[in-house]
Amino acid sequence: MFSETKLDIAVIGGGASGLFVAGFLSEAGHHVVVFDKNEKVGKKLYITGKGRCNLTNLCPSDDFLKNVVRGEKFLRSAIYNFSSQDAVDFFEGLGLRTKVERGQRVFPQSDKSSDVIRVLQKVHCKGVDFRLDEEVLDVKSTSDSFCVRTAVAEHKFDRVIVATGGKSYRTTGSDGKGYEIARAFGHDVVPLVPALCPIRLNDVFVKKLQGVSLKNVTLSALADGKKLEFFGEMLFTEDGISGPIVLSLSSVVNRAKSVQLWLDFKPALDEKQLDARLLRDFDSAKNKDVLAVFRGLLPKSVAEVFCSVCGLDGRKVNGITKEEREKIAKLLKHFPLTFGGLYDLNAGIVTSGGVSLDEVNPKTFESKLQKGLYFVGEVLDVDAFTGGFNLQIAWATAFMCAKHLE
Ligand SMILES: Cc1cc2nc3c(=O)[nH]c(=O)nc-3n(C[C@H](O)[C@H](O)[C@H](O)COP(=O)(O)OP(=O)(O)OC[C@H]3O[C@@H](n4cnc5c(N)ncnc54)[C@H](O)[C@@H]3O)c2cc1C
């Protein structure tokens, strides 16, 4: 349990994991200093969940771990020891009322991420010494302590916790400095790639679809020979696709060398059922343009693009052969999209890759290479799907670190 010896502890980063760990350690009687390069803490937390902060997910821990993309085994102990229910109880205990929404997602009842930051900083971290606008430049170990050099001064500490986050949405402060600190202690950093990130398409028709959203579709991929499928909602951007199923897919294709993508516009119907539906629709619109039929099946601009890709522009329904109709049904279920890669690292909601898990103790989050040095949160090579899982990883790793730090 929490260490009895009173220590001077530096927490680098006042984001989700940094605030979490700092409060527990200060409560345990340690002198805790949180450094953040920003003028205020929790800049990324502020924009989470579109400003509402989806702070955890109340699914059972086994299901939780299925939503972890990288680090599932490593995180097992943390997630079982500090579950999402523990996170909810913790926040309720700080006076933050919470509510559960679709898919077991937990939000503050106020729908304000600022309330999450407020209780973390003002209540949980009331005994913490905050050094804001103070970027940590490097950390060195001496025989019995650490020297933390910031843009302002050099400070001596007994323990250092790196809670610097990933390397995406850099304007929130997470610019990857934590990886440099880790490397300086000999840590391996698994190459960084974006995760939960929009995907670029090399199809010229994309521009015509910008802003269009599709519900209840299946987006599939063949990534290095592995078939992947996500059902739900997506939308077209200026030069690609985004939205829930695209973000999820991006997290599992972000390291693949070859990716083929296709869309099933009508996953509820198999090809035969779809052909029968087309036959019915065609029968009742014999003298009309094919486009008119597709407008009943797809959003207007998607119908136009679909007709043009299928070479059906200007064609009348009564001119379509059976073979053509069957081909159309096939294409509605297997509409190819040309994968143009993910957007850059900065656009990922989280960073995949980071401090190698082999070199960090999964129970204490202490470095196996340097005693007294700890890594928590997104700086580690861990990431998960959307739904509150990434913040729960930040809370759970921070809690375990505080609990076992000695
Ligand atoms: C748009 C968006 C929406 C999201 N929504 C959700 C959501 O609803 N639910 C969910 O579970 N997850 C969400 N996430 C992911 C989640 O926000 C992160 O996984 C989580 O914040 C990681 O916590 P962290 O403590 O590791 O890093 P961060 O919260 O990024 O904190 C890192 C902190 O370290 C500071 N720092 C970095 N380097 C230095 C340095 N050298 N010196 C001093 N300070 C430094 C930074 O300023 C920053 O404050 C979202 C992410 C984004 C970008």
DSSP element (H, E) containing 201: strand 199-201
Q: Which atom of ligand 1 is nearest to the CA of 15?
A: 31
169 Cβ below 6 A of ligand 1: yes
Cα 206 to averaged position of ligand 1 atoms, centre (Å): 31
Report the nearest-CA residue for atom 24 of ligand 1: 165
* Nearest partner of 83 among 357, 403, 404, 399, judged by Cα: 399
State if residue 16 touches ligand 1 by the CB under 6 angstroms criterion. yes
Task: State residue 168's pLDDT score.
Answer: 97
Phi then psi for residue 331, to 5 deg, are -70, -30
When pLDDT is cut at 50, 70 and 90, the band that residue 121 belongs to is: very high
In residues, how long is the chain?
406
Q: Model confidence at 140, in pLDDT bands (50, 70, 90)?
A: very high
For residues 32-49, average pLDDT: 98
Ligand 1 atom closest to 48 (CA): 5
If you average pLDDT over every residue of the chain, what do you get? 96
Domain 8-194+348-404 class, CATH top level: alpha beta
Domain boundaries, the chain: 8-194+348-404, 198-342
Q: Is the pLDDT of residue 275 over 60?
A: yes
Give the number of the atom of ligand 1 that is nearest the alpha carbon of residue 391.
Answer: 11
* Amino acid 2: pLDDT: 61
Whole-model pTM? 0.96
The confidence band for 5, taking pLDDT boundaries of 50, 70 and 90, is confident
Residue 124 is predicted with a pLDDT of: 98
Residue 1 has pLDDT above 70, yes or no: no
35 lines ligand 1 (CB under 6 A): yes
165 lines ligand 1 (CB under 6 A): yes
Tens digit of each residue's pLDDT (9 = 90 or more) over 186-196: 999 999 999 99
The per-residue pLDDT for range 340-351, each reduced to its tens digit, is 999 999 999 999
Q: Say yes or no to pLDDT of 165 above 70.
A: yes
pLDDT at 313: 86
Q: Which of 120, 92, 126 is nearest to 106 (CA)?
A: 92
